[in-house]
Amino acid sequence: MALIETDHLEKRYEVGDSIVHALDKVSLQIHRGEFVAVMGHSGSGKSTFMNVIGCLDEPTAGTYRLDGIDVSSLSRDALAEIRNQKIGFVFQGFNLLARTTALENVEVPLLYNKDGSKNRRERALEALRTLGLEDRRHHHPNQLSGGQQQRVAIARALVNNAPLILADEPTGNLDTKTSIEIMDLFVRLNEEKKITIVLVTHEPDISTYSKRIIHFLDGKLVSDEANRR
Amino acid sequence: MMNMPSTVKISLRALRVNKMRSALTMLGIIIGVAAVITMLAVGRGASNKISEQIASVGSNLIIVLPGSTTASGIRLGSGATQNLTRSDAEAIKQECSAVATTAPILNGSAQIIYGNSNWPSIVFGTDENMLEVREWTLASGRNFYDQEIRSAAKICLLGQTVVDNLFGNDDPLHKTVRIKKVPFVVIGVLAPKGQSMLGQDQDDIVYVPVSSAQRNLFGRWFPGTVRSIMVKARSTEDLDRAEQQIKELLRQRHRIGPDQEDDFTVRNLTQMMQMAEQASRVMALLLAAIAGVSLLVGGIGIMNIMLVSVTERTREIGIRMAVGAKTWDIRLQFIIEAVILSLIGGLIGVLLGVLFAQLLSFFAGWTILISTYSILLSFGFSGLVGIFFGFYPAYKASLMNPIDALRHE
């Protein structure tokens, strides 16, 4: 069974009199353990695709199954629970809570988890350790470099043992050297922990780290091919 | 739903980050609560003082005085005639169902002498019912006996002021004092009552049997006549009925025709004081209401700041939603923040209010009464203000679209 399965997924916006098809009948499957890069120009629909499969946005038509669950019919709170349990987000702007330590930032998903209160601190610390940030646990985001901040964000995505990581331009704010470090990290997580990674990027260099590259154009899925590293 | 301790921790941190703003927001609540506490303390103190004074005079009191008369075309003021008698007092007690008891009064001022000290006081000729009418107890000794009233015994009860001035530290019981040169044996001392509402010393008083007052002290009064009659009604509700019954009975007894004026006056002492008490209570309530308004304004201040805070922290809300915060997780976070603000403000307000009320009583000499009830009321109310005014901002936050919130700069 596929982890992500979309069938004729559509997302339409009404802008004045015209209708914009941000997603136009997108059907695809992503299996567990895959590393997919989603590419396209801005306005191609790749961000909308990310939002929909990240359960942050609802499709206008079509179905989307995440880990066998039909997500399109779920309530706001049920979607929040799915995001908490199944998805880890990594954003371009890191999106860490300011004035909050690295450790506490990693703990946040556990706050909204039913059994997250149990050894929350240890689990957060373990996630930070995996990313080599144990000694930075009491630092606030503004005391960390961009690469370190992004690694804290990745630790936060890992802490709930979600099977899927959605990364939206994770290297967009980083220099080349740090970008390579972060991409190597994703590759390691994908290979060692078998975590499914869906990565949105517009940089061809970054997409080469993935195993499969899909292209969006005007809301349509135009190419879907395996990538040999 | 997320767990409480961490929500409280998150809220506390958010408040700590904006210390100045939190403090200023709290100030509204602090002033409101302190005002409520102080106003209630002052208001309740005042009405309590009045009730105490009512109790010290004796509750449910009616006084019957002779009416005004006209002699050779000249109107004489009330109390000028001698037309009330001890049997009127007895009749009122026997026949008026709303009356509990009565006591006749035949009073005048006199110099009281004991040994080589002397003191001017008011001497009241009365009977054994007086203590019940005035709700007065004895500090020592005993009341008059019915027999002693009839036999015009030369005995007396002294008020505390008289005892202090004549006897100093000596025990006055069974000693003989001279009133207008007539020896009277002290059989009891009245418990101190303090000042009346008008500032009169109620303890500067001597009670003697009404018969001996007439016979030995105030001889110009006809035997059996009295200056006034004190009546105690059965209850506050019976006051009006008692007044009516007394009027009817006395008109009948004094043989007054249907279109003739009363030759006596009935005054309701308690009613006036109860009106004063009620007025002070209304005043206290009014003060508390005004203070309540300032609490309300403080609440609006909280709402204002919380709305700003929600807007400022849009991105934080987006992040929390993205990682799984549900509607009520977000709502609770902001409501708890508002409640913490208002409860801390309430606590400081309570302390300040108590302090301020104490200062008022210390420096201005006002009677204050701080009740647990008023503290709990204003503290609880400040908590409610937090929930009430925190809800709308929290509700607004919880309805945000996570995508828009995450993109917010």
Those residues with Cβ within 8 angstroms of residue B54's Cβ, 6 or more apart along the chain or in another chain = B270, B273, B274, B277
Rounded-to-integer distance, Cα B60 and Cα B50, Å: 14
pLDDT the model gives residue B267? 83
- Which one of B317, B323, B326, B395 would you mutate to disrupt binding with A, by most A Cβ within 10 Å of its Cβ? B323
For residue B2, pLDDT over 60 is answered with no
* pLDDT per position as a tens digit, B216-265: 888 777 788 888 999 998 888 888 899 999 999 999 898 888 888 888 88
pLDDT the model gives residue A37? 95
pLDDT the model gives residue B48? 80
Cβ of residue B151 closer than 8 Å to a chain A Cβ = no
Instruction: Nearest chain B residue to A78 by CA: give it.
Output: B326
| H helix or E strand, kind and range, residue B148 | helix B146-150
Please tell me the distance in Å from A228's CA to the nearest CA on chain B: 32
Interface subset of A 148-177, CB within 8 angstroms of B = 156, 160
When CB atoms are compared, the residue of B315, B323, B403 closest to A51 is B403
Q: Indicate the average pLDDT of chain B.
A: 87
Among B108-122, B166-180, B196-210, the range scoring the smallest mean pLDDT is B196-210
For residue B1, pLDDT over 80 is answered with no
The rounded percent of chain B whose pLDDT value lies above 70 is: 95
End-to-end CA distance of chain A: 26
A138: nearest Cα among A100, A183, A166, A176: A100
Give the SS3 label for residue A16: coil
pLDDT the model gives residue A229? 65
Residue B64, phi-psi category: left (phi > 0), alpha (psi -120 to 50), beta (remainder)? beta
Those residues with Cβ within 8 angstroms of residue B21's Cβ, 6 or more apart along the chain or in another chain = B305
- A76–B327: do the CB atoms touch at under 8 Å? yes
Task: Residue B133: count other Cβ atoms within 10 Å of its Cβ.
Answer: 22
pLDDT the model gives residue A83? 94
Asked if residue B345 lies in contact with residue B301, where contact means CB atoms within 8 angstroms, the answer is no
Report helix angle B314-322 to B327-359, nearest 10.
130
Instruction: Nearest chain B residue to A87 by CA: give it.
Output: B323
pLDDT the model gives residue B79? 58
- Contacts of A19-25 with C-beta under 8 Å, sequence gap 24+, read A20/A219, A21/A45, A21/A218, A21/A219, A22/A48, A22/A219, A23/A48, A23/A49, A23/A52, A23/A59, A23/A219, A24/A218, A24/A219, A24/A220, A25/A62, A25/A220
Asked if residue B133 lies in contact with residue B103, where contact means CB atoms within 8 angstroms, the answer is yes
- Residues B76-95, mean pLDDT to the nearest whole number: 81
Cβ of residue B407 closer than 8 Å to a chain A Cβ = no
Beta pairing partners, A36: A198, A212
Asked if residue B302 lies in contact with residue B310, where contact means CB atoms within 8 angstroms, the answer is no
Cβ of residue B316 closer than 8 Å to a chain A Cβ = yes
A74: nearest Cα among A84, A64, A86, A89: A64
- Dihedral (C-alpha) B294, B297, B298, B301: value to the nearest 10 degrees? -160
Cβ of residue B18 closer than 8 Å to a chain A Cβ = no
Please report, for the domain that includes residue A38, its CATH number.
3.40.50.300
In total, chain B counts a number of residues equal to 409
pLDDT band at B18 (very low <50, low <70, confident <90, very high): confident
Cβ of residue A134 closer than 8 Å to a chain B Cβ = no
Q: How far is CA A103 from CA A135, B34, B65, B364, in A?
A: 10, 41, 88, 56
Cβ of residue A79 closer than 8 Å to a chain B Cβ = no
Within 8 A of B327 by CB-CB distance, chain A residues are: 76-77, 80
When CB atoms are compared, the residue of A98, A100, A112 closest to B323 is A112
pLDDT the model gives residue A116? 63
* pLDDT per position as a tens digit, B118-176: 999 999 999 999 988 888 889 999 999 989 988 989 999 999 999 999 998 888 999 99
Identity of the amino acid at A89: F
Within 8 A of B316 by CB-CB distance, chain A residues are: 97-98
Q: How many separate domains does chain A show?
A: 1
- Token look-up 């709308």 returns B392
Signed CA dihedral, A198, A202, A206, A209: sign only: positive
- A83–B2: do the CB atoms touch at under 8 Å? no
- Token look-up 């703003």 returns B21
Tell me the residue range of the domain where A76 lies.
4-226
When CB atoms are compared, the residue of B10, B323, B402 closest to A156 is B323
- Token look-up 């009749």 returns B91
Instruction: Nearest chain A residue to B327 by CA: give it.
Output: A77
* pLDDT per position as a tens digit, B349-359: 999 999 999 99
Within 8 A of A110 by CB-CB distance, chain B residues are: none
Please tell me the distance in Å from B27's CA to the nearest CA on chain A: 25
Identity of the amino acid at B283: M
B377: nearest Cα among B337, B346, B351: B346
For residue B70, pLDDT over 70 is answered with no
Structure tokens at B407: 């993109």
Instruction: Nearest chain B residue to A101 by CA: give it.
Output: B13
Half-sphere exposure of B255 (CA within 13 A, CB side): 0
pLDDT in tens, chain A (229 residues): 789 999 999 999 888 888 888 999 999 999 999 999 999 988 888 989 999 999 999 899 999 999 999 998 899 999 999 999 999 999 999 999 988 899 999 999 998 887 766 788 899 999 999 999 999 999 999 999 999 999 999 999 999 899 999 999 999 889 999 999 999 999 999 999 999 999 999 899 999 999 999 999 999 999 999 987 6
Beta pairing partners, A18: A15
Asked if residue B346 lies in contact with residue B298, where contact means CB atoms within 8 angstroms, the answer is no
